[in-house]
Amino acid sequence: MKIKIIALGKIKEQSLSSLIDEYKKRIGKYTNIEIIELKESNLRSLSDKDICNALVEEAIEINKYIKKDDYVIPLTIEGKSLDSVAFANDLESVFSFGKDIIFIIGSSYGLSDEIKNRGNLNLSFSKMTFPHQLMRLILLEQLFRAFKIIHHETYHK
């Protein structure tokens, strides 16, 4: 069993990269984790048509890393909100079926409907919008917290 995070866009800040690497290392104690960083589509303009086309292009790239049996969790603002314990319970349940879990963090313009519809669980961390680079760190922190909960280990609150 493995966790993959498919994320559009690069991390530019070294301090953020260091924190991301630290959480990947901590999670590595519990499971294999991989971050797949994909390039955001270049938008010629901010027209709705260009944004839609960019999201379709990004979906094509995202789908190259998803297998039929993967459990897919796109992060979407309109997704389901969970507390940390419920999130841990959901992860534990998926792992009990031997499935790999794929989290998808979209670009600045979100994710295509195709990717959202492919999701087994569309997950929202908040109704607020976060930079996608920061969302990567937030997701990793919550994954680490979930593994601590699953293994009945203490973790700060």
pLDDT tens sequence across 32-83: 999 999 998 876 667 888 888 889 999 999 999 999 999 999 999 999 999 9
The DSSP element (H or E) to which 143 belongs, if any, is helix 132-150
The count of other CB atoms within 10 Å of the CB of residue 135 is 20
Question: What local confidence, expressed as pLDDT, does residue 8 receive?
Answer: 94
Question: What local confidence, expressed as pLDDT, does residue 101 receive?
Answer: 97
Tens-place pLDDT, residues 81-133: 999 999 999 999 999 898 899 999 998 888 999 999 999 999 999 888 888 88
Nearest to 107 by CA among 49, 34, 40: 40
Q: How many residues does the chain have?
A: 157
User: Contact, 101 vs 65, CB < 8 A?
Assistant: no
Question: What local confidence, expressed as pLDDT, does residue 58 receive?
Answer: 94
Q: Determine the Cα–Cα distance for residues 87 and 2; give it in Å rounded to an integer.
A: 16
User: Contact, 31 vs 151, CB < 8 A?
Assistant: no
For residue 145, the cross-strand partners are: none
Question: What local confidence, expressed as pLDDT, does residue 81 receive?
Answer: 96
End-to-end CA distance of the chain: 27
Region 8-23: mean pLDDT is: 94
Give residues with Cβ within 8 angstroms of 147, minimum separation 6. 27, 29, 30, 31, 88, 91
Region 6-30: mean pLDDT is: 95
Question: What local confidence, expressed as pLDDT, does residue 44 receive?
Answer: 66
Write down the pTM of the prediction.
0.93
